[in-house]
Chains A and B, each alone.
Chain A
Amino acid sequence: MIFTFTAATWPWLLRHELRLAWRNISRTSLWLIVIGGGLLWACLHLVAWLTLSNLGPLSGAIAGTSSAAPPPMATLVTGAALWFAISLMFSQAILLSITALFDRGDFDLLLSSPMPTQTVFIVRGMGVAISSVFLYLLLFTPFAHMGLITGHAHLLAIYPALISIGLFVSALGMLLTLTLVRVLGARHARMVGQLIGALVGAMFFLASQVQTMLSTETRAGITSTFKQWIAVDGPLAPDSAIWFPLRAMLGEWLPLLIVMGVGLGGFWLVVSLTYKRFLAGTQESVTGQASKKLPAVMGGSIKFRQGLMMNVLIKEWKLIVRDPNLIAQTFLQMLYLLPMIFIFFRRQDMTLLVMPATIMLASTLAGSLAWITIAAEDAPELIGVAPVQLARIRWMKALAAVMPVWILVSPVLAYLLFTTPLYAAAFASFIAGGTISAGLIQIWYPRQGDRKNMKKRGQGNMVINLIEGISALGWAGTSYAMLAAPLWAPLGLLLALTGPSGAWLLGKSRREQGVLA
């Protein structure tokens, strides 16, 4: 059924926004989403049915047949999970607000139309809210549906509660973005907003992983403190206001009304109070008023650097350093990787842990930077028409990618040099192996990317991404095996060399075709 709306009204514009969002998904991804999402949704219904049929201690509270509050630990776990979801939603809302404010090229068209600016802003906000909350509706609504079957109809409150939460976090995301524009100007606001969005998303995950790095005694101390907090009258007791979102979703009337009031009211307030700022921020970002101005260069005072190598290195480093979003995304990968490495090598002594972990991180970072410098070249045609062999420039670009990594890991090398010189030699060799392999993969399998899509590079060529991962793991594994189980070291090395050799074989035809990048 096709809905028709009166032109230039907010539902009409919202439909347009959603259609654009839908069409931004590639055909392959669309099928994956439809099939994978459908299967997941069906499985979640099963999980929801099984959970709701065997609620045990929670059933009384959830079914509303018991006046007893749910057990504190159950509230803590489910409530914390919901707050985790809300934090991710908020992170998503910030990033989407930035896109809505800065990256969409249709403002000139929309704002020059007779449609009120406020309507455009409301619809942008609703678009952000829908995009932020969609995944969580997919995850939580099976519980509402199965609640109907299993006698927990009040779980239908998941719908209004979740939508209200989505509207509220979207309003917060937009407010934060607009405040940043006011305080920092459009250019810096975009960068800081992206950083905050990325860090908020990573925060809960990192916090959850901190315990893996703590000693048993510290963990026992934290658990004991939490037990006191979740007890009756504690700050995290089940009847605390902090669990209102959870209680609203479980169908408790008062929390539900409060959550809906705060969500809808907050969204309305932000939209009605800040749309003028939205207009100003948009104009600023479109006209580039916030661009940084340096003092003008004096005539005859300019000096150019001599030599191709230095020019390539400096150019690549400038382009990386001047794109904080790129740095944030690159280092965020490292942040996500760090706890996993710690978990993997956990019960070992510090040297055993630090060496492979650093090699893994360094190789991954070198891979990301090499992708930025080689694949995500902004002006491939300029490089293509230059009287220099493409391969030579790629080598220089790879060097530009690995050198910062070498500088970053040098403190670890210095530490090992003073404590265990033999380990230092091994560490230096494996770091060189890991980072150079990462560069070689980009050189030998030329592909073209866009640095704006750094985050999506993992969705590109699956085989080459897998090869990159295997190579980094191989070098880290070899170093670990050298220290802990030398007999396994050749296998690790074999794995490590699979990366560059695989890229060399797979990329042969691409190199012959002279794929620019």
Chain B
Amino acid sequence: MQTQTAAHSVTPSATPSVSISPEPAPALAINGLVKHFGGKYAVSNLDLTIPRGEFHALLGPNGAGKTTTLRIVAGLLKADIGTAHILGHNIATHPTEAKRLLAFLPDDPLLYGKLRPLEYLEFVAGLWSVESTIAAARAEELLRWLDLWGNTSEYIEGFSRGMRQKLALAGALIHDPQVMILDEPLTGLDAAAARQVKDLLLERVKQGNTIVLTTHILEMAERLAERISIIQKGKIIAQGTLDELRELAAANATPGQNATLEDVFLELTSQRTNIEAASRTSAKSEGTT
């Protein structure tokens, strides 16, 4: 049985109850989420609330439970215990309403190799019941914006990893979602494409949409995210703006006012200690040889 420990939350709001709150429902509200596979807990009593219009980064070491959490939120996995609400709609009990407002981009999106980009977007628009003329115009706009317009006559099977990622992103945007959940959205993208995607995401947030992303590129989270949650062993261990996280990490140990997110992340996930210990061991062994 897992023991529950409180997260180092640096935000005043903890986990508002969606049902009794008089204010508009947050973009994402996760309460007491638990998911285990076999005997191993992937998510362990996780609470997370993300207000509307926020760019939120979910960081954590490999196997921390980020992807499992996002897959539960997207309705691809069922939680053992706990709830996830998208703009007030419970994903487990009202999946259709919740999914209508949501876009989920997995880290390795599977596309239809034998379809062409426009056919793919047409199908996705059909799934979300987007009006066909609006969808067609939006598809053209997105493909042009993502530099895929010149590839509309090719099958997706001939696309590079980066082109697939961009097309999947276009598919995620075709229904103009209010909440976007992105699992490693920059995987496989070159510098120019990564910049394009980052700009596009920032533009979405400016328009009042909410973005939740996971990434291993901490520089991206540092530059884009308004707030950051750090997840470890299936729990949120810290949450706040970068400055708030710096303060929290400084209270624990080394990182100072100019510490990077990488320093903060390593400190909070206790990986710095491990890395330094490993470096010391390595230096020692080199010295002896």
Chain A residues in the interface with B (C-beta under 8 A): 288, 291-297, 299-300, 302-308, 310-312, 315, 318-319, 322-323, 378-389, 513-514, 516
- Once the chains bind, are A386 and B132 in contact (CB under 8 Å)? no
Q: Say whether, besides A379-B110, A516-B76, A389 and B96 are in contact (CB < 8 Å).
A: yes
- A-B contact list, 6 entries, CB within 8 Å: A291-B154, A293-B154, A296-B153, A304-B136, A311-B123, A389-B95
Q: Say whether, besides A300-B140, A304-B139, A319-B114, A383 and B122 are in contact (CB < 8 Å).
A: no
Q: Which of B150, B155, B157 has the most CB of A within 10 A?
A: B155
- Once the chains bind, are B140 and A319 in contact (CB under 8 Å)? no
- Report the nearest A residue to B74, measured CB to CB: A385
B76: contacting residue among A296, A307, A385, CB under 8 A: A385
- Once the chains bind, are A303 and B132 in contact (CB under 8 Å)? yes
Q: Which of B91-130 contact A (CB under 8 A)?
A: 95-100, 102-104, 106, 109-115, 118-119, 121-129
Q: CB-CB contacts of B51-86 with A at 8 A, as 1s and 0s?
A: 000000000000000000000001110100000000
Contacts of A311 in B (CB 8 A): 122-123, 125-127
Contacts of B26 in A (CB 8 A): none
- Once the chains bind, are B111 and A378 in contact (CB under 8 Å)? yes
Q: How far is the CA of A305 from the CA of B129 in the complex (A)?
A: 11
A387: contacting residue among B95, B113, B132, CB under 8 A: B95
Q: Is residue B133 contacting chain A, with contact meaning CB distance below 8 A?
A: yes
- Report the nearest A residue to B96, measured CB to CB: A387
- Once the chains bind, are B78 and A514 in contact (CB under 8 Å)? yes
Q: CB-CB contacts of B235-274 with A at 8 A, as 1s and 0s?
A: 0000000000000000000000000000000000000000
- Once the chains bind, are A315 and B119 in contact (CB under 8 Å)? yes
A379: contacting residue among B111, B122, B154, B157, CB under 8 A: B111
Q: Which of B78, B118, B127 has the most CB of A within 10 A?
A: B127
Q: Is residue B152 contacting chain A, with contact meaning CB distance below 8 A?
A: yes
- Once the chains bind, are B78 and A513 in contact (CB under 8 Å)? yes
Q: How far is the CA of A307 from the CA of B127 in the complex (A)?
A: 8
Q: Say whether, besides A293-B154, A304-B135, A315-B115, A382 and B127 are in contact (CB < 8 Å).
A: yes
The smallest C-beta distance from A307 to any residue of chain B, in angstroms, reads 7
Contacts of B126 in A (CB 8 A): 304-308, 310-312, 315
The smallest C-beta distance from A164 to any residue of chain B, in angstroms, reads 39
- Once the chains bind, are B78 and A386 in contact (CB under 8 Å)? no
Q: Is residue B208 contacting chain A, with contact meaning CB distance below 8 A?
A: no
Q: How far is the CA of A513 from the CA of B133 in the complex (A)?
A: 37
The smallest C-beta distance from B109 to any residue of chain A, in angstroms, reads 7
B112: contacting residue among A295, A306, A310, A319, CB under 8 A: A319
The smallest C-beta distance from B193 to any residue of chain A, in angstroms, reads 19
Ordered nearest first, which 3 A-B pairs have the shortest CB separation? A311-B126, A294-B153, A387-B99
B158: contacting residue among A288, A303, A319, A323, CB under 8 A: A288
Contacts of B139 in A (CB 8 A): 302, 304
Q: How far is the CA of A300 from the CA of B118 in the complex (A)?
A: 12
Q: Which of B114, B115, B126 has the most CB of A within 10 A?
A: B126
Beyond contacts A302-B139, A315-B119, A514-B78: 17 other A-B pairs, Cβ-Cβ < 8 A, are A288-B157, A288-B158, A296-B152, A303-B133, A304-B122, A304-B139, A305-B126, A308-B126, A315-B115, A318-B115, A319-B112, A322-B114, A379-B112, A384-B75, A385-B75, A385-B102, A387-B96
- Once the chains bind, are A293 and B127 in contact (CB under 8 Å)? no
B99: contacting residue among A299, A386, A514, CB under 8 A: A386
Q: Is residue B171 contacting chain A, with contact meaning CB distance below 8 A?
A: yes
Q: Say whether, besides A306-B132, A378-B113, A387 and B97 are in contact (CB < 8 Å).
A: yes
The smallest C-beta distance from B273 to any residue of chain A, in angstroms, reads 37
Q: Is residue B276 contacting chain A, with contact meaning CB distance below 8 A?
A: no
The smallest C-beta distance from A302 to any residue of chain B, in angstroms, reads 5
Q: Is residue B131 contacting chain A, with contact meaning CB distance below 8 A?
A: yes
The smallest C-beta distance from A383 to any residue of chain B, in angstroms, reads 7
Q: Say whether, besides A297-B153, A304-B139, A387-B97, A378 and B110 are in contact (CB < 8 Å).
A: yes
- Once the chains bind, are A378 and B112 in contact (CB under 8 Å)? yes
Q: How far is the CA of A24 from the CA of B123 in the complex (A)?
A: 35
- Once the chains bind, are B140 and A388 in contact (CB under 8 Å)? no
Q: How far is the CA of A318 from the CA of B156 in the complex (A)?
A: 13
Contacts of B127 in A (CB 8 A): 308, 311, 382-383, 386-388
Q: How far is the CA of A382 from the CA of B171 in the complex (A)?
A: 9
- Once the chains bind, are A315 and B112 in contact (CB under 8 Å)? yes
- Report the nearest B residue to A516, measured CB to CB: B76
Q: Say whether, besides A297-B153, A514-B78, A385 and B140 are in contact (CB < 8 Å).
A: no
- Report the nearest A residue to B151, measured CB to CB: A296
Q: How far is the CA of A323 from the CA of B155 in the complex (A)?
A: 12
- Once the chains bind, are A305 and B96 in contact (CB under 8 Å)? no
Contacts of A516 in B (CB 8 A): 76
The smallest C-beta distance from A430 to any residue of chain B, in angstroms, reads 33
Q: Which of B199-250 contact A (CB under 8 A)?
A: none
A304: contacting residue among B76, B97, B104, B132, CB under 8 A: B132
The smallest C-beta distance from B24 to any residue of chain A, in angstroms, reads 20
- Once the chains bind, are B76 and A384 in contact (CB under 8 Å)? yes
Q: Say whether, besides A293-B153, A318-B114, A299 and B140 are in contact (CB < 8 Å).
A: yes
- Report the nearest A residue to B99, measured CB to CB: A387
The smallest C-beta distance from A391 to any residue of chain B, in angstroms, reads 12
Q: How far is the CA of A386 from the CA of B123 in the complex (A)?
A: 11
The smallest C-beta distance from A227 to any residue of chain B, in angstroms, reads 52
The smallest C-beta distance from A226 to any residue of chain B, in angstroms, reads 46
The smallest C-beta distance from B189 to any residue of chain A, in angstroms, reads 19
- Report the nearest B residue to A322, measured CB to CB: B114
- Once the chains bind, are A305 and B122 in contact (CB under 8 Å)? yes
- Once the chains bind, are B110 and A381 in contact (CB under 8 Å)? yes
Contacts of B113 in A (CB 8 A): 378
Contacts of A380 in B (CB 8 A): 110
- Once the chains bind, are B128 and A387 in contact (CB under 8 Å)? yes
Q: How far is the CA of A489 from the CA of B115 in the complex (A)?
A: 45
- Once the chains bind, are A381 and B104 in contact (CB under 8 Å)? yes
Contacts of B128 in A (CB 8 A): 386-387
Contacts of A323 in B (CB 8 A): 114
Q: How far is the CA of A503 from the CA of B72 in the complex (A)?
A: 27
The smallest C-beta distance from B110 to any residue of chain A, in angstroms, reads 4
- Once the chains bind, are B136 and A303 in contact (CB under 8 Å)? yes
Q: How far is the CA of A98 from the CA of B121 in the complex (A)?
A: 32
Q: How far is the CA of A288 from the CA of B171 in the complex (A)?
A: 24
- Report the nearest A residue to B111, measured CB to CB: A379
B131: contacting residue among A306, A310, A384, CB under 8 A: A306
A292: contacting residue among B75, B102, B106, B155, CB under 8 A: B155
Contacts of B98 in A (CB 8 A): 387
